[in-house]
Structure 1
């Protein structure tokens, strides 16, 4: 999830100039020891791959729902087929009822500060469940227990291990909030209400080899962790409402007028944006198949961990074809109100969407879904498989940034299915990292990217209020969340790619990680182990310190002496995190040369003297001339003309 102006406001608070503070290393060897258990087992190997007995359960959903705009109530019926691939029988399953987060006595409500925060929500009654049936091997149970945002569903007979199937069905009903914690809700526009619908149906929790049932309550900052499956969803709305959703529209000919259907087919084959419903045609019943009553929109998506949709009679709708490296194509489309129209605004949304999907597909892993839709709503930025909600007020660089970020989430965590509720950095940070390169590539750098100036963030890295990346999002100070979930982990990956490993080694390892864990559930140690093995480098000295601590980098040049035709360069590590020392030497004649010292020099102490010969006189030396590292004291990174001779 992302909310661009939220992050910038956080960073604005954190970038104040703060007093410098440096910590000397007490025990250098400890920097190179591994504190985390990174060993393998039958479920997860030490090489960072799924082990021979790795398992993952599957949940397939059939949902039929209807929205009543008069009451803002959604009523639905869900049938879930649940496959237990785990090695143990299950007496029950846990499901999430996310709409209960909006009740006055929910844990999320009661843990919201009096002054409020971005995760405020309207006080509502929550979700009503009825006619629940849990069927296993010709036995049926209706027993269930609701606790806050979770529901325990019991079986009469245990659901057998290694492929046993259960069918769980129920009816559900809830009122759509206006303010849905910046993740869903309603927006009133000139031409009607926009409904952004997410976390809207009962959904099974993950049962894995790490925690068993993952049942952390839905509080706010922590997001989602779900299994994969197929979603077959029918949504009934008034006849002149457009519905866009995760996946592919199955019945366009049944819901669109012949004219709009022809435009739709044209867009499927056009790399230029095609208008499907124009600003002059908003709300016109002639755009749809039916002229009265209701109609049902049918969507499907496979190998997905969630499903979301939006509906309104106020949408402009446009689309274009995206083209994948394999030659497959799909539909990039956008839905937005007339208030968001314009070439500096949402009229470029489909262009941005197409560029984002195509870039990540070529660079990292091919996009797996047949469509990708960007929806303008009263939401700063929120992602679901194949669907974004982005602020209807966004324009220019802001709209590109939030669109690209939310579509990037299709790779993390939609394809690589990490646990967002615990490890926000494994989706937000990794996504912010890939956004850095996509933004540099879009229209040859049309829009700026913040990560190319890491040292502007030094103030936060010296703040006494900073927290570690590993802090759970629901526990973290919200003023730190932008850094520990987004920027610091992203900067860590940039450091790995551009300073420690180099692009070729890193890209191979990172792509291998994505391919290996696509549609699976990696843990932090799986990522660390995989990168180390694929890149061929023990990186514990970096992973431990950067992702599990609050220490900083501070490399320094202490002296340069010339004696008997040789130079003696002394460098020191004045920070908490060892680093290789990459330096640019500038000679008196203006020529330059790069010289590097490996990270292992710091195993022998805080300082290191290197002897080397040079045929030309040295004018200056500078550590990290490209300013990749977030070195908290860059005043000591260079050495001027002062060359001492003994």
Structure 2
């Protein structure tokens, strides 16, 4: 979508004293109450020394740090993963910690897990979840067997002595294994291909829960939604059969040990090429499958400033790549991995082109931070992880571009800006869908524009009208409803579509790009690798963009209020105080917005002006007086149909 700031009406001095039309009356009482919409607003998170009134980290803001060293081995015959991890945990909080909490996401696949019982996505296949062989605590030079409690998808580690505040550090050493689900596992799965199988490995290690200034430990059971994780460095090694190829988050540390000389040469060429270069062809994949394995090979990766890693392994991969051009002359690598049956000129042959184009566009908001970005064609869960995304091998055409761009867009929300997506889905899916819209407009001169999501926006029609049923639904949750408490019926329409449309309206109709864009970029930079709340975002945008947006947060985010503004009359006024043409307005719903007002004159000319939000602040049925030199034929609110107005029939008033 694009934005054109309308021109303001010319100021003129003469006015006709003839009455054009008296203001009409509203048949039914209006629910609009200016005192309610513009009342002072107490945001959910208070200002403190940790988070200040400008929406920035305060002088005492703190955040704990988690570094991981992971060793993972896949047994392809039994389809099990065996892991050893060492977690280095740094407690930067002002609190000493008597216990630590970890997330055991694989336990969601247990038959009696809360996720299995409560989820709307019912499953009939299960695993035994994590099998924890041992947990040890390494603290102040001593090693202690850990006292643990496993409850559903959480593990509590009781410490032998409290971990000191403000920099206390310890290590946890955990030995574990688990059965890898089939494709019914969704985000982590073993996916069959025509010639072999793909191991799609996410949530493959116990991960530390977040401890922050908002809720202490974030240790709610995992029910299969999203994540909230701490940042650090993750060093991981994956052991697989020697005919397997591994793609994963971060930088491949040992390419000479795992790639052939030909593959190394092709990879070096790809790093210098704006066109896709094949590192591993369909013939190479076929030969690897036919060869079988004679042993194992270790693939070593490392990723900094990350909250997570994931990887995929298969002998049946085509691998291609190209250079990503970033701001300030920097570069990264776009890479795709997919089985031969996914290849095709309108299919995965173009994946790397999509990765490159999307990331180059998104980097205008904040530069892509990692050495590579991988698009995996596998089961098709449509799921994002830092540096790698899991998409569908059968995707093609516009769907493949849209899913690629969307999942990669999550790099910025919530991989860089680390909001709590388990509580605040709109800061994850909504923000990401917002930047998607413009990425579709930009890619290849709008080849796949406008972005549409089949679940809530069928082709055709005006996108702003597609939100109207949701706004009219008395049972629809607000954007502030915790993500896991939003029914599947509303998940897309609320978190994705309404969340994105809220930012589009803020950018294009309320602030304008000249104020919105610098503020939004500054927000990303300020909160990169940190944990903002919705209140931080609200305060930041107000402060940085220079606008009191209390009414917008209240109506669109904290509530699910509708918009229905009307022009109710036109008349001439000529008094000692004022002289001109008076235009009357009313609202049939609780929310109002600034809008373009088109003045159509009887001589066939027209002019546009801006009706600011201040018009609505002091009166429930406001009016304005304009010094016009010629008679009006009609007045129309929002003539270009940019606002989600519930009833456009009352947007125009025509003089009879």
TM-score, with structure 2 as normaliser? 0.90
- 1:349·1:374 contact (CA, 8 Å) conserved in 2? yes
RMSD: 2.0
- 1:257·1:287 contact (CA, 8 Å) conserved in 2? no
State the distance in 1 between where 2:124 and 2:253 align. 33
Deviation of 1:286 after TM superposition, in Å, equals: 10
Counterparts of 1:310-389 in structure 2, within 5 Å, are: 310-362=312-364, 364-389=365-390
Kindly indicate whether residue 80 of structure 2 is the aligned counterpart of residue 73 of structure 1: yes
Q: From the CA coordinates, give the structure whose radius of gyration is larger.
A: 2
Counterparts of 1:20-419 in structure 2, within 5 Å, are: 24-25=30-31, 27-33=33-39, 34-37=41-44, 39-113=46-120, 116=121, 120=123, 122-141=125-144, 142-221=146-225, 223-285=226-288, 292-362=294-364, 364-419=365-420
State the distance in 2 between where 1:104 and 1:31 align. 48
- 2:99·2:156 contact (CA, 8 Å) conserved in 1? yes
SS in 2 for 1:110: helix
State the distance in 2 between where 1:365 and 1:107 align. 38
> Among 612, 622, 640, which residue is 2:636 paired with?
622
SS in 2 for 1:367: coil
Deviation of 1:580 after TM superposition, in Å, equals: 1.8
Deviation of 1:79 after TM superposition, in Å, equals: 0.5
SS in 2 for 1:326: helix
Deviation of 1:240 after TM superposition, in Å, equals: 1.0
Partner of 1:458: 468
Identify the range of structure 1 (549-558 vs 31-40) with the bigger mean alpha-carbon deviation. Answer: 31-40
Number of residues of Structure 1 aligned to a counterpart in Structure 2: 615
Deviation of 1:524 after TM superposition, in Å, equals: 0.8
State the distance in 1 between where 2:139 and 2:601 align. 78
Deviation of 1:22 after TM superposition, in Å, equals: 9.7
Partner of 1:14: none
SS in 2 for 1:440: helix
Deviation of 1:549 after TM superposition, in Å, equals: 1.0
- 1:61·1:230 contact (CA, 8 Å) conserved in 2? yes
Deviation of 1:339 after TM superposition, in Å, equals: 1.9
- 1:496·1:502 contact (CA, 8 Å) conserved in 2? yes
Unaligned runs of 5+ in 1: 1-20
The one-character-per-residue Cα deviations of 1:221-252 (angstroms, maximum 9, x if unpaired) are 3x100000001110011111110000111111
Counterparts of 1:433-448 in structure 2, within 5 Å, are: 433-447=434-448, 448=450
Partner of 2:655: 643
State the distance in 2 between where 1:402 and 1:139 align. 48
State the distance in 1 between where 2:525 and 2:597 align. 35
Deviation of 1:590 after TM superposition, in Å, equals: 4.6
Kindly indicate whether residue 553 of structure 2 is the aligned counterpart of residue 553 of structure 1: no
State the distance in 2 between where 1:636 and 1:286 align. 67
The one-character-per-residue Cα deviations of 1:42-77 (angstroms, maximum 9, x if unpaired) are 100011000111000000000011111111100010
State the distance in 1 between where 2:241 and 2:147 align. 35
State the distance in 2 between where 1:291 and 1:474 align. 43
State the distance in 1 between where 2:605 and 2:182 align. 63
The one-character-per-residue Cα deviations of 1:140-169 (angstroms, maximum 9, x if unpaired) are 332111111010112212111111110111
Partner of 1:611: 625
C-alpha spacing 1:465/1:30, structure 2 compared with 1 (3 Å): closer
Deviation of 1:378 after TM superposition, in Å, equals: 1.1
Deviation of 1:627 after TM superposition, in Å, equals: 2.2
Partner of 2:10: none
State the distance in 2 between where 1:568 and 1:580 align. 18
- 2:288·2:315 contact (CA, 8 Å) conserved in 1? no
- 1:48·1:525 contact (CA, 8 Å) conserved in 2? yes
State the distance in 2 between where 1:371 and 1:23 align. 59
Unaligned runs of 5+ in 2: 1-26
> Among 506, 523, 528, which residue is 1:513 paired with?
523
- 2:33·2:590 contact (CA, 8 Å) conserved in 1? no
- 2:308·2:385 contact (CA, 8 Å) conserved in 1? yes
C-alpha spacing 1:484/1:456, structure 2 compared with 1 (3 Å): closer
Identify the range of structure 1 (347-356 vs 23-32) with the bigger mean alpha-carbon deviation. Answer: 23-32
Deviation of 1:573 after TM superposition, in Å, equals: 1.7
State the distance in 2 between where 1:256 and 1:269 align. 18
Deviation of 1:618 after TM superposition, in Å, equals: 3.2
C-alpha spacing 1:283/1:248, structure 2 compared with 1 (3 Å): farther
- 1:259·1:287 contact (CA, 8 Å) conserved in 2? no
C-alpha spacing 1:22/1:296, structure 2 compared with 1 (3 Å): farther
Deviation of 1:621 after TM superposition, in Å, equals: 2.6
SS in 1 for 2:55: coil
State the distance in 2 between where 1:527 and 1:121 align. 41
SS in 2 for 1:614: coil
- 2:45·2:533 contact (CA, 8 Å) conserved in 1? no
State the distance in 1 between where 2:168 and 2:594 align. 52
Partner of 1:6: none
> Among 591, 599, 613, which residue is 1:585 paired with?
599
TM-score, with structure 1 as normaliser? 0.92
- 1:255·1:296 contact (CA, 8 Å) conserved in 2? yes
Deviation of 1:313 after TM superposition, in Å, equals: 1.1
- 2:32·2:620 contact (CA, 8 Å) conserved in 1? no
State the distance in 1 between where 2:322 and 2:355 align. 9
Deviation of 1:334 after TM superposition, in Å, equals: 0.2
Partner of 1:17: none
State the distance in 1 between where 2:418 and 2:113 align. 27
Deviation of 1:562 after TM superposition, in Å, equals: 4.2
SS in 2 for 1:492: helix
State the distance in 1 between where 2:32 and 2:572 align. 31
Partner of 1:11: none
Identify the range of structure 1 (582-591 vs 307-316) with the bigger mean alpha-carbon deviation. Answer: 582-591
Deviation of 1:394 after TM superposition, in Å, equals: 1.0
Partner of 1:4: none
The one-character-per-residue Cα deviations of 1:165-198 (angstroms, maximum 9, x if unpaired) are 1011111101110135531212111121111111
Partner of 2:17: none
- 2:32·2:591 contact (CA, 8 Å) conserved in 1? no
Kindly indicate whether residue 587 of structure 2 is the aligned counterpart of residue 573 of structure 1: yes
Deviation of 1:588 after TM superposition, in Å, equals: 4.2
